[in-house]
């Protein structure tokens, strides 16, 4: 998104934690509006059975479902 803005393709919305202090991008706060985002956890299909990857996925599921 940021690269598209830098290349003068248009404008975009990103969440506050994703915004780094870019020298050439102006941040405009949006107030009094309910905005939500969705996040996705992704991995290569062949890596899903890897013990470490599987443990991370299962931990993330438990946190999200609480």
Using the Cα atoms of residue 40, residue 28, residue 4 and residue 12 in order, give the sign of their dihedral. positive
User: Would you place residue 65 in the very low, low, confident or very high pLDDT band (cuts 50, 70, 90)?
Assistant: confident
User: Would you place residue 44 in the very low, low, confident or very high pLDDT band (cuts 50, 70, 90)?
Assistant: very high
CA–CA distance from 18 to each of 23, 26, 33, 45 (Å)? 15, 14, 19, 26
Query: What is d(CA 11, CA 64) in angstroms, rounded to the nearest whole number?
Result: 31
pTM above 0.75, yes or no: no
Q: Is the pLDDT of residue 50 over 90?
A: yes
Q: Is the pLDDT of residue 53 over 90?
A: yes
Q: What is the mean pLDDT of residues 35-39?
A: 77
Q: Is the pLDDT of residue 38 over 90?
A: no
């Amino acid at each position: 998104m940021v690269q598209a803005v830098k290349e003068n393709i248009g404008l975009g919305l990103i969440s506050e934690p994703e915004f780094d202090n870019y020298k050439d991008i102006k941040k405009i706060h949006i107030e009094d509006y309910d905005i939500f985002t969705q996040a996705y956890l992704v991995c290569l299909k062949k890596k899903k059975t890897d013990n470490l990857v599987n443990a991370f996925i299962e931990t993330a599921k438990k946190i999200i479902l609480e």
